[in-house]
A and B are shown apart, each in its own frame.
Chain A
Amino acid sequence: MIPGPCLDAETLAAWADDRLTAAERDAVEAHAADCVRCQAVVAAMVRAEPPAEFAPAWWRRGSTLGWLVPLTAAAAAVIWVVVSPGTNRRPQDAAPAETIAVAPTPSPSPQMTIANGELVARSDNALDALSARKQATPEQNAPLMKTEAAPPAAPAAVVPAPEPARPAVSADRMAASGALRGQAFGNSLRADLVPEIVSSNPASRWRITPDPAFVQHSADGGATWEMQRTTVTTTLAAGASPSPSVCWLVGSGGVVVLSTDARTWRRVSFSENADLVAVSATDASTATVTTADGRKFSTSDGGATWDRDPLQEFSATPF
């Protein structure tokens, strides 16, 4: 069926149409795994494919065994999550994340479904989240708990992008923008843990994924996560969640996205094409973003207009 070392069109097409036997598919994947040309061809086929509805036909046995890989101390030494000092504040009356009573929320179907354009994938991520919590030491878990929200009257906790983690988050976009793919891959090896953006109710939280088109949201304190489509393609770097249903995310190239229902996202206009590295917010209308060069812009109308920080403007003038 697979004559010659490289895959011919008949084989590639049968693979794309899921017409290969299991043994043939294994052989094809084994070849394509190490053949850049064949990988490029299948990638081109995927890009040239007309849009189709998602159909998760079947699940490979191996896909559920990832949680068995232990996080060794040696690996922890090279996994680097840098957190800016001063943001590791815990609510004084908050219990540890694992024991927080989660407010009951409607449980979605455990099946993999698409609802309103969102991808719901709870069971696999639940395994992932649970296994990470089981295997990580409390010290290793600590960096994941740094973005607690401030009291409601105060701005939500700022979650600036940790320096090494920002390159990791931006690795995907660097690749997409034509930068060295090796650097993107290397960045992803360097810092794979992304801080969680926890709302004023710790049950509701988000986390940024390597693919900026998606973020993950949990309504049960991180036990399970669901994918949410953000509609952006540039790197996301930081976020703030002043309430369980509101989350602001910012990233490179002046990208600002906002969710006000904990499910859907919209791009908010921002006049500057500057990389945004931090955001603080009090609600869905009021937020302050910080650019990579330290400038601050604020909005009080949900991002319709932005003003530069008047203090900054004042300090910029000599007299």
Chain B
Amino acid sequence: MPAVGMNDDLVERLYRLAKGDRWALPKSAFAAALAASADRAFTTPPDARELERYLTSLHLEDLALACACGAGPGGNDAAWDHFVLEQRPLLYRSADALVPGGGARELADSLYADLYGLDDRQGERRSLFRYFHGRSSLATWLRAVLAQRHVDRVRSERRLEPLPDEDSGPAAASSSDPPDPDRPRFLALMQRALSVAMSRLTGRDRLRLGCYYAQELTLAQTGRLLREHEATVSRQLARSRKIIREDVGRQLRAENLNTDEIEQCFACVTEDAGPLDLGEILDSIRARKKPAADRSI
């Protein structure tokens, strides 16, 4: 990490803005937190003006609170009281929004425990607050951590779910109908064509499609995420679908399929998607680019 130099005047000014004296936070600890944040943000040492601009943009009060809670054995009592009063209800509310009925409450509680630093390694308290660097608000950061843990838990539970029986599902329901011999071929063609067509979209278009179809966000939620008006989201989704349709049609014609066969290919994915899964298509696009590892704190 590049070395970051901060002058005492800047630290003093930022400490005042952060109201660090509320929690009797040592200035040295606060300076260390500022340096860690800057080290993380800049790949090359910034000039003084750029550094000051960056540090001034941080959520300084939240950073001071996080420092006070995470510093020393047990942190600062007043800081913890403030955190419990302000942030814990938000954390529980976020957990309830993720899993209505309280199913994510234990996630919130375990997160709270990790923030406190119950994981005592070699006599040193390790609080999760060390990962907060003030670029976002503390509430948003807590929501991100909670969301990561929730998603990772759901994904690990899915891996343990038993596979469905072979005689259940649409195939079983229509077992009296003779199987369409072309269907597997058409499905495979559609899967491949869709994957290629989607890989040709911009990242933002794929993200929009993924959020709306794979993650089942509403237009409004997708718009909030992408900083778009939901009418724009709707219109952009329609545009992306049109682009994909045209691309898939071209690809299928390049496979020497006639119009009827192309219609049957599209019909395959509307009647019964079978193995077609937008999430898997997106994953396959990513796998072709670069392998990645799960990461969360």
Contacts and interface: CB of A to CB of B under 8 A. Distances in A.
Interface of A: 1, 4-10, 12-14, 16-19, 26, 29-30, 32-37, 39-50, 52, 54, 56-60, 62-63, 66, 69, 71-72, 74-75, 77-80, 112, 119, 121, 124-125, 128, 164, 167-168, 175-176, 180-190, 192, 209-211, 213-214, 227
Interface in B232-247: 232, 234-239, 241-246
Interface residues of B, number: 103
Contacts of B249: 74-75, 77-78
Given A17-B140, A46-B221, A187-B270, A74 B246 contact: yes
A47 B97 contact: yes
7 contacts: A8-B295, A36-B282, A42-B215, A66-B239, A77-B262, A182-B273, A185-B278
Given A10-B133, A18-B227, A74-B249, A184 B294 contact: no
Contact of B213 (A16, A26, A181): A181
B239 A57 contact: no
B276 A78 contact: no
A121 to B, nearest CB: 3
Sorted nearest first, the 6 A-B pairs with minimum C-beta distance are A186-B269, A121-B231, A5-B292, A182-B276, A13-B136, A34-B286
Contact of A33 (B143, B203, B220, B295): B203
Nearest to A12: B144
A173 B289 CA distance: 32
Contacts of A50: 90, 93-94
Contacts of A14: 135-136
B246 A72 contact: yes
Interface string B199-232: 0001111110111011111111101111111111
B214 A181 contact: yes
Q: Report whether over half of chain A's contact residues are helix, strand or loop; otherwise say mixed.
A: helix
B203 A30 contact: yes
Contacts of B291: 5
Residue of A12, A40, A185 with highest tally of chain B CB at under 10 A:
A185
Contacts of A49: 94, 97, 143, 224
A18 B57 CA distance: 12
A12 B142 CA distance: 11
Residue of B97, B135, B150, B268 with highest tally of chain A CB at under 10 A:
B135
B28 interface: no
B160 interface: no
B229 A119 contact: yes
Given A44-B151, A192-B241, A39 B211 contact: yes
Q: Report whether over half of chain B's contact residues are helix, strand or loop; otherwise say mixed.
A: helix
Given A40-B155, A48-B98, A167-B270, A192 B238 contact: yes
A181 B147 contact: no
A182 B226 CA distance: 22
Nearest to A10: B133
Interface string B174-207: 0000000000000000100000000000111111
A48 B147 contact: yes
Contacts of A42: 147, 211, 215, 225
Contact of A35 (B40, B190, B286): B286
B136 A17 contact: yes
Contacts of B207: 29, 32-33, 39
A5 B290 contact: yes
A13 to B, nearest CB: 3
A112 to B, nearest CB: 5
B40 A46 contact: no
B6 interface: no
B211 to A, nearest CB: 6
B231 A125 contact: yes
Contacts of A186: 190, 266, 268-270, 273, 276
A33 B219 CA distance: 17
B288 to A, nearest CB: 9
A74 B250 contact: yes
A267 B48 CA distance: 60
Nearest to A214: B219
B40 A1 contact: yes
Contact of B204 (A44, A60, A125): A60
Interface in B60-97: 90, 93-95, 97
A78 B262 contact: yes
Nearest to B205: A33
A57 B223 CA distance: 11
A119 B230 CA distance: 8
A49 B231 CA distance: 21
Given A50-B90, A190-B266, 18 more contacts: A10-B141, A13-B135, A13-B136, A14-B136, A32-B207, A35-B283, A36-B279, A39-B211, A43-B221, A49-B97, A49-B224, A50-B94, A56-B228, A66-B236, A69-B243, A121-B232, A182-B275, A227-B230
Contacts of A47: 97-98, 217, 221
B151 A6 contact: no
Contacts of A37: 151-152, 155, 294
Interface string B20-47: 0000000000000000000011010000
B259 interface: yes
Nearest to A227: B231
B112 interface: no
Given A14-B135, A74-B250, A41 B144 contact: yes
Contacts of A184: 213
A124 B213 contact: no
B57 A19 contact: yes
B297 interface: yes
